[in-house]
Structure 1
Amino acid sequence: MKPIRRSIVRTLLATAAALAIGPGSALAQSYPAKPITLVVPFAAGGPTDVVARMLGAAMMKSLGQTVVIENKTGAGGTIAATAVARAVPDGYTFLIHHNGMATAPALYRKLSYNPLTDFEYVSQVIDVPMTLVGRKDLPAKDFKELQTYLRANASKVNLAHAGLGAVSHLCGMLFRQAVGVELTTVPYQGTSPAMNALLGGQVDLLCDQTTSTTPFIKSGSVKLYGVTTSSRLKTFPETPTLAEQGLAGFQVVVWHGIYAPKGSPKEAVDKFGAALRAALKDPAVAARLAELGAAVPSDDRLTPVGLQTILQQETQRYGPVIKAAGQFAD
């Protein structure tokens, strides 16, 4: 469908939805009248899916309706984002996505949606640090030894990631640039397969979110070489940041946001956002997020404007990095 025709269809759908639901005050009182779908661009069991299911369960308390998690995988999250951008804007379909919303315009030559203009912004969700981990029998015992090992064995070292457009892919690109060593990258169809390959010794390194790596680090199943935040993590206070260990300015934090199709009723977007903020303050949710090393953003970022701002900033930040790396997909 051509962009102009798609825009007309979206406008007609939004108008039909508005006419069907009547005045805003009536919608605010009746919404939600049925289950809400939260689309996850990645496989079940992955970091984004874990967060989505945790929040969806907690949001039911405020919404009084089930939040159905729908995993729509493929193409670095663009399949899910496209589906939500084209969904009926009636307030019953939402998308949770991470930094991939900001990197997609640079990664994909042909993108069927515009992340900046084809969605209603709901809120940021959480910030998740990244960790650089290696297989448990990798000879290097710390990051200093790892750098030496990489320079001596660059052609033999494999760096896994969860697929083009995944944050592990982005982190891997930045890491290779920072250490100045060309490593062989191995893409997988999701975080779980990439982690399984690391656990099985088929690959050597993986840069991924604490929501995925923490259990394996704590069990000793993988080696932790550093964290990607500006300061050390409370979860692993003895582990220095990569910046501390010589990669000056190296910082990658995974931020998540929730979006709705353009033209979705403001009352529905606002109510969904309020339920999200309530869920993030739930003691059980907060405790679990802290355990996984994730952090809830400040109140000013838990807003539509907060999400719009970071999306714009990150789009400008990562575009040149991706283009310099020559990482593109059709």
Structure 2
Amino acid sequence: MEPGNDTRLLEFLLLGFSEGPELQPLIFGLFLSMYLITVFGNLLIILAVSSDSHLHTPMYFFLANLSFVDICITSTIIPKMLVNIQTQSKVITYDDCITQMDFFLIFSVLDMYLLTMMAYDRFVAICHPLHYTVMMKPQLCGLLVLVSWIMSVLHSLLQTLMVLQLSFCTEVEIPHFFCELNQMTQLACSDTFFNHLVTYLAAMLLGGGPFIGILYSYSKIAFCIQRISSAHGKYKAFSTCASHLSVVSLFYCTGLGVYLSSAATRSSHLSATASVMYTVVTPMLNPFIYSLRNRDIKEALRRFSGMVAIKVPIVLGLKNFP
């Protein structure tokens, strides 16, 4: 079949990581394990925060939302890849591809906004501790999350509508493991000038804006920490934001590394492999980073596991369960 222009394209082919059938079971097992760890770990964070009244603060409210978004990001892309490997098929329908791209855009932008809000929360807590409860009211936190959802949905809707205006060749192979915006735009047969323009502008505003906000918050935090006289006070202040700083560094460094490496090598398969870092590995590591470096989270998880250990035998009717 000769490639041609077809606005009624029915399906794409996701090429994934490797053509070799002998590697497919290994890839399936690896990604299934990472997906289950991501869902289980982030779900534990959400349950710990929601069940422990000591964690009903802005910091942990944003953390619970971040864990929910991390679950959604991986659930948007990994299950379809696992199904394709299991069925030995690379097909994804046009509608499913657009839907996957749409939701991935929503949750990835939400991730950046939440990381920015968490940086602002740490800035207020360290630099303005006496005004923390006034500046970080629950109503304001809820409003910030709601506005972030609205902006993320509107951005995703704009990008999706612009992709829907494109026409694609009749044989379209995506050298990636999910329907990523840039990959789809590059495969279009029609003019994509405005698509690239909107993508670059959105990257500067929605990506660069939060990043500048995070840098500003941490520059102020560093300045405030330097003014603390005692070494113990400096360590305590820094430890409150160490986990978040680790997550921010991991997210932005891997994401920036992916786009710089793909621009330098123009290797789609290399870009797909590198994309695993911020789409799968980072959401998987976030619960470990926060639970291992945060005493409150560890205590909440310990209390939550104790509650589960008590309630499960009762629910099962095993009151004398040893």
Of Structure 1 and Structure 2, the greater strand share is in 1
- Higher gyration radius (CA): 2
For Structure 1 versus Structure 2, the TM-score category normalised by the shorter chain is under 0.3
TM-score after normalising by structure 2: 0.26
TM-score after normalising by structure 1: 0.26
